[in-house]
Structure 1
Amino acid sequence: MELRHLRYFEAVAGTLNFTRAAEQLHIAQPPLSRQIQQLEEELGVTLLDRSARPLALTRAGAFFYEQASQILGRVAEVSEATRRLGSGQRRWLGVGFVPSMLYTALPGAIRDYMHAHPEVDVVLLELTSVQQAEALQAGRIDVGFGRVGIDTEGLTNTLIHEEPLVAVLPADHLLAALPAVSLEQLAQHLLIVYPAQPRPSFADQVLAQFRVHGHPVTRTFETNGLQTAIGLAAAGIGITLVPTSVQRLKRDDISYRPIVDAGIVSPVLMTRRRGDTSEDLQAFCEAVLRAEEGAA
């Protein structure tokens, strides 16, 4: 299977018409039909219901269309990033971040940098730590801010600081009446962890702290986002742990409580490509570090 097969199928699936797809691709219709047939033979499934009027995707075809579009989109991003890097154009800065970073000093640092450097196009992408490592290697971003250090060749992680975690409880929970709670108390309840995928993630970091302190969690519920975890806690489904800075998110249906056990923290990490000496990137990282120092 080659990229052209994906492009051909994307055109056919997008138009549901071989004639229009062939016109878009600037090729004749018969060769296009043969390419799609070859693709189906290689996959061993039927992607198109040719008996339908108009042409229709099979269930397998709809799935393959979605996946092919994502792959082609990623290829386009990587190609553009490679051209930028190869031509020495450094007036574009890609920044990846995990959602909890929105409650730290990072947003303010980004705002200040954009005001001070209007000639630099800052592109922001919400990505997990694992996704940030992949995006850095592919050139889709220049720097990432997360909480899980991904040991990947060619990347370097800088610890900005370690942030204490707090428990998020339903406002009417019995533990919410206490000034602080312990891991032992929290381990008795359903623990909502996030993100579910990809791993390793903040979820593994939280679960590990319970294990290390001798209170392994027996009941968990995995979700993919910080906001969802907090919403489920508010609904009384369970409890969750979040970085202290998230307390800036005010809700009357939850209570934040500090944890009495020592060392319950999450690192704030800045990840870059090793050897990247871009002046724009250096200025941005310095702006972030200054903002973090000022917020400490």
Structure 2
Amino acid sequence: MISLKQFRYFVEIVDAGSYSRAAEKLYIAQSALSRQIKELENEVQALLLTRDARHIELTPAGQLFYERARRILDEIEETVRQTRHVGQGAQGIIRLLHSSSVTLTPAIGAVLARLLAQFPGVSLDVSKGSSENQATDIEEGRADLGLVRLPTLRKHANIVVRELYREKLVVAVSQHSPLAAQPTTTIAALRDEAFVSIPHKDRGGLSYLVASLCLAQGFFPKAARALSRKTSQLNLIEANLGIAIVPDSMRLAAPPGVCFLSLEDEHADSVVGLVSPREASGMVAAFAQALVDEMVKPPLLLHPSA
């Protein structure tokens, strides 16, 4: 049976780069450390490390074991941290995901600040996740709540998605593009333009929505030679490699060489939704409902110019 101690010892050896330095840091004899690793290798039936007098090297099996072992130790450390947090009288940590197209504007930051004041025992751990994968991450326990750009294609029986707010779409172009000279345009007028973001066949979100709007005008977005579904698409646009239809709030993340054109189309907007577990814990459920209540209060200013 592999012990947690062997996981720690193995990771420490790899991080330290030698048995001797790891033994010093762990305050154990080098011979005892070597014995533990030998027992570990016997248990997994694979050679994990090779070494000479100066350094160690990971075998392919060792590389795999190191990556998984570090992930396990990080998960254990996070579990202990959250348990300690709860044990000290706080309620816990909520892991909040947001897609790269859901910009955390000052207005959204203000909403989160108000909620944290309402829930003094809650801390937020905020990170990015794609709109299509957030439901899976939440369902499998890697996150608690998510802010997504609708639509999402996959349905999950244990996940609820609630609409929070609508946001107008705009066209992002390079300042060097001929389009930059005009303040507005239409989706139909973009038929011959190259788009730096096109949809993945298995993913929803912003690029899927944009493709649907283009298809309604009789064309599918033509792919640029450089593509991105992340905020880095704005850098591609600045380099005049193509255009994109994006939420208006992405102005806040745009480099100086990007211009934005208003869309004249009647339904050129998108919806941001909140993803949460159907059977959420009391803390997560209460925070999620408070977030919905705050977000749907009109008007939600997405950015200072809204």
TM-score normalised by the chain length of structure 1: 0.76
Partner SS, residue 102 of structure 1:
coil
The residue aligned with 1:96 is 97
- Residue 275 in 1 paired to residue 276 in 2? no
Aligned residue pairs total: 290
**Which runs of 5 or more structure 2 residues have no equivalent in the other structure?**
301-306
Counterpart position of 1:118:
120
CA distance in 1, matches of 2:12, 2:198: 36
- The 5 A counterparts of 1:74-153 are 74=75, 76-77=77-78, 90-99=91-100, 100-103=102-105, 105-148=107-150, 149=152, 150-153=154-157
Counterpart-to-counterpart distance in 1, 2:288 and 2:173? 36
Q: Which amino acid aligns with 1:171?
A: Q
Distance 2:77 2:202 in 1: 23
Q: One-letter code of the match for 1:223?
A: S
Alpha-carbon contact 1:22-1:29 (below 8 Å) kept:
no
Change (3 A) 1:37 1:144: same
Corresponding residue for residue 65 of structure 1: 66
Deviation at 1:140, TM superposition (A): 4.4
TM-score, normalised relative to structure 2: 0.74
Q: State how 1:25-36 maps to structure 2 within 5 Å.
A: 29-36=34-41
- Paired letter, 2:257: D
SS at match of 1:122: strand
Q: Distance in 2 between matches of 1:264 and 1:202?
A: 12
CA distance in 1, matches of 2:3, 2:136: 20
Identity %: 22
Aligned with residue 245 of structure 1, among 245, 249, 262: 249
1:232 Cα deviation after fit: 1.6
Q: Distance in 1 between matches of 2:199 and 2:220?
A: 19
Q: Which residue matches 2:304? A: none
2:246 alignment partner, SS class: strand
Per-residue deviation, residues 95-142 of structure 1 (Å, max 9, x unmatched) = 222242313742110012223433332332232224432342244443
The CA deviation at 1:159 is 1.2
Verify the 8 A CA contact 2:191 2:219 in the aligned structure 1.
Answer: yes
Contact residue 81 and residue 139 of structure 1 kept, 8 A: no
CA distance in 1, matches of 2:8, 2:245: 44
By how many angstroms is 1:214 displaced? 2.0
Q: How does 1:200-279 map to 2 (within 5 A)?
A: 200-220=204-224, 221-223=226-228, 225-226=230-231, 228-249=232-253, 252-276=256-280, 278=282
The two structures, once aligned, show a CA RMSD in angstroms of 3.9
Deviation at 1:264, TM superposition (A): 3.1
Larger helix fraction of residues = 1
Pair 119,74 (structure 1): closer, same or farther in 2 beyond 3 Å: closer
Instruction: Please give the secondary structure, in 1, of the residue aligned with 2:121.
Output: coil
CA deviation profile, 1:206-243 (whole Å, cap 9, x unmatched): 334323432112324332521x1112211212112211
Match of 1:170 among 170, 174, 198: 174
Whole-angstrom CA distance in 2 between matches of 1:200 and 1:2: 42
Q: 1:173: Cα distance to partner?
A: 1.3
d(CA) in 1 for partners of 2:90 and 2:210?
Answer: 40
Q: Which runs of 4+ in 1 moved over 6 A?
A: 78-85, 194-198
User: Cα–Cα, structure 1 residues 21 and 152, in superposed 2: closer, same or farther, change >3 Å?
Assistant: farther
| CA distance in structure 2 between the aligned counterparts of 1:25 and 1:208, rounded to whole angstroms | 61
CA distance in 2, matches of 1:78, 1:195: 36
